[in-house]
Structure 1
Amino acid sequence: MNDKEKKELRKRIITSAYAYKTRRKRLFYSISIAASVMVILSIGFYQYNFSKPSITEFAESSEGIEIESANDVQLFLSGDKKVAIQNNNSSIAYQTSGREVNIADSLGKRQEIVLDDPNEFNTLIVPYGKRSKIVLSDGTMVWLNSGSKLTYPVTFKGKNREVFLTGEAIFDVSHNAEHPFKVLSKGHTIEVLGTVFNVSNYPDDNNIKTVLKSGSVEISYKSDSFFKSEEKTKITPGTMAVYNKARPQVNTKDVEVENYFSWREGVLIFKNNNLKYIMKKIGRYYNVDVNFQESELENETFSGHLNLKDSIESVLTTLQGATDFKYKVAKNGSLIINKLENME
């Protein structure tokens, strides 16, 4: 082999070695980049799934948003945005995409709001004396009664559709067999697929009441049994489930369903209900405090219809025609209830 051939062979060897080394470096860099991407994605997945609070955690962390201090219906959006709706009755509807929400009141005023993030939670507060209807992004319709708060995702992700309720609401749930709908509260869960039901869960009540109009409902709650952590109760249409907050247990009974849904139409229906229960309903609806001067009056009963589209004076006059009480308005605006012969 002459010198020229030796030089050519050496050149090919060096070129091959360099190419092999370059391929190894590229492979190493590719593996490093891939590993870095996986780490970044893993961190992102962890942060999204573990840093983002559950709806229960979010609702409980926002308990500082007081129902009592609100004068208007308030919609809390992401990024500390808040919309006040100055009307007794309002309607709110989310687009399926979660990118826009439409708001209307009973006076015909409308507004459209573009949302920044469809993956966030929103909260709707309905103070005492107000009512509101909301259509969630899955098509579920919710009517919120006075003194209520609903926390919900702008769009539903994952297996379950979950909302968190304080107060009273009627749900007409959009059917989706693959994604059950759950109404959560402290220690209590209502699960449905597609149904119509009423839930009453005010903080100052001793019980959570669920009345089923159609479909099927399963109620889960924490057990006080040593042997199991959770109890479940299923109810059928025409049934009320009463959950005792102090002693975790559920009792069921048959009821006249419309008595628990009529407030949506501005009517209260009572059948042998006592005045204490009735006045609590009226007080919430008209946003007034009611004080009984004598406890005996609290147990007087009334049956009939009260039209809540009338003034509170007209409603109380209707009640007075069937019961033995008089009332007066105190300086602070509250109602003082007393017997006929004792009222000054």
Structure 2
Amino acid sequence: MNRISDDVIERIIDFYLGDISEREKMDLERWVKETPGQEQCFKQTLKMCQRLRLSSREERAGGMKTRIQEKWREERLKRRRRFVWGVISSAAAVLLLVGIFHVYYTNRKEPVPETLPKISLLESKHGEREAILQFPSGNEVMLGRENDRTVPLAEGIVLKSDSVKNLFPQPESGKDVMTEEYHTVIVPRGGEYNLTLADGTNVWLNSDSKLKFPLHFVGNQRAVYLEGEAFFEVTSDSLKPFVVKTAEVNVKVLGTSFNVMNYTDEAKVEVALLKGKVKFEDTRNRQTRALVPGEVVRMDKASTSIVLTKEDVSRVSAWRTGYFYFENMSMEELVVKLERWYQVKFTFASEKVKQMRFTGAVTRYRDLEYVLKMIEKTRDISFVDFGDQIKIYEK
């Protein structure tokens, strides 16, 4: 095991607390990549911080660094003991392995590793009200609640970005707008954003989503392009229907509230209607469905088969009000949503675990450890943190 100096321990603690400058962060990254094994030291020290519940500079000043140094001494001592024992027992171990190999291989079932560390997930970044505004030129600016400035989009038109709230397009008085110039708002994983379009339509964008929209709507319809998930409250205009276009379907409305989900990494497109009326159209086969409030239409992307159901639509769009709601959802589907929000990676120990199902609701602003423990209480599964991924086992 590589030795780790007091200065490096101090720097990693600063990194964990978020109390580190960009220069110090770059120095730490260089140290991690400098020698094989130092990345593992870095991860192990972060896990020690988590297990010791490090939460403030005062705690660190009060002896936390000393406790972490002691942990490293204990680790080195354990490794020496394991090495000596390994030399003594290696011959016996080989014979034993030969004896049990056949039994293990023919009755193999991957168990939850008893020697792995207890879940100690590092705090993941999520729930950030932030986005990227991409101009037609390709230039980008960051949007978020820390911004207190305005971003000019065109002559007489600005994006007010003092919080997470709205676009306020204001065309120059008396000037006709003849063309639609599209901009794109990109919400990263773990983020969310709310904006108001030129016609007054409100849009809530979920994590890992993109919305392409014009500064002004021109022509006989109001068209926007969506990748990911969004909830719309559309301003009524009988002369200009509002159309949400995605890769597989179009959703046409006059004035209504509805949710559209079409992520590239999910097998289905989903539209849920809260109020008003919408027309759902499959762009490949031209299949259409007219929805009334309380209905949800789902289309399988591979087969293009469509299912229309009556549901509690507020649960489908619960993410907008800060909740995850899982209705008899397989773990394979569920973790995709957790990965998108918490920016982590899940793997499965078996196919059986993938198909286990879960029903429940929890606020999206809880940390990931809380959510996983809640799932463990209701299902026979365990989550184990490996640092770069979380593996799911059957109990």
TM value normalised by structure 2 = 0.60
Kept in 2: contact 1:297–1:339 (CA 8 A): yes
C-alpha distance 252-105 of structure 1, shift in aligned 2 (>3 A) = same
> Which residue pairs with 1:74 in the alignment?
132
Q: Describe the superposition over 1:29-68 as per-residue Cα deviations: whole angstroms up to 9, x where unpaired.
A: xxxxxxxxxxxxxxxxxxxxxxxxxxxxxxxxxxxxxxxx
Aligned Cα root-mean-square deviation (Å): 3.3
Aligned partners of 2:311 and 2:282: how far apart in 1? 22
> Which residue pairs with 2:321 in the alignment?
265
Aligned partners of 2:137 and 2:342: how far apart in 1? 32
Give the number of equivalent residue pairs: 260
- Structure showing the higher strand proportion among its residues: 1
Within 5 Å, give how 1:86-165 maps onto structure 2: 99-105=157-163, 119-165=180-226
Aligned partners of 1:257 and 1:89: how far apart in 2? 34
Structure having greater relative contact order (Cα 8 Å, sep ≥ 6): 2
Within 5 Å, give how 1:208-223 maps onto structure 2: 208-223=269-284
The alpha-carbon deviation at position 105 of structure 1 amounts to 3.6
Q: Describe the superposition over 1:283-302 as per-residue Cα deviations: whole angstroms up to 9, x where unpaired.
A: 11112121111121122222
Within 5 Å, give how 1:238-257 maps onto structure 2: 238-257=294-313
The answer for unaligned runs of 5 or more in structure 2 is 1-129
> Which residue pairs with 1:325 in the alignment?
381
Name the larger-Rg structure: 1
- Structure showing the higher helix proportion among its residues: 2
Could you tell me which of 352, 366, 370 is aligned with 1:314?
370
Match status 1:338 vs 2:393: yes
Aligned partners of 1:304 and 1:248: how far apart in 2? 29
**What fraction of aligned residue pairs are identical, expressed as a percent?**
27
The alpha-carbon deviation at position 98 of structure 1 amounts to 7.1
Kept in 2: contact 1:137–1:155 (CA 8 A): yes
Aligned partners of 2:322 and 2:301: how far apart in 1? 29
The answer for unaligned runs of 5 or more in structure 1 is 1-71, 225-229
C-alpha distance 113-289 of structure 1, shift in aligned 2 (>3 A) = farther
> Which residue pairs with 2:252 in the alignment?
191
Greater mean deviation of Cα atoms: 111-120 or 181-190: 111-120
Aligned partners of 1:115 and 1:335: how far apart in 2? 50
Letter in 1 for 2:303: R
The alpha-carbon deviation at position 165 of structure 1 amounts to 0.5
Kept in 2: contact 1:93–1:102 (CA 8 A): yes
Aligned partners of 2:359 and 2:152: how far apart in 1? 39
Give the secondary structure class of the aligned counterpart of 1:283: helix
Letter in 2 for 1:204: D
Letter in 2 for 1:184: K
Give the secondary structure class of the aligned counterpart of 1:104: coil
Aligned partners of 2:146 and 2:339: how far apart in 1? 15
Letter in 2 for 1:81: N
Give the secondary structure class of the aligned counterpart of 1:320: helix
Within 5 Å, give how 1:46-61 maps onto structure 2: none
Match status 1:297 vs 2:358: no
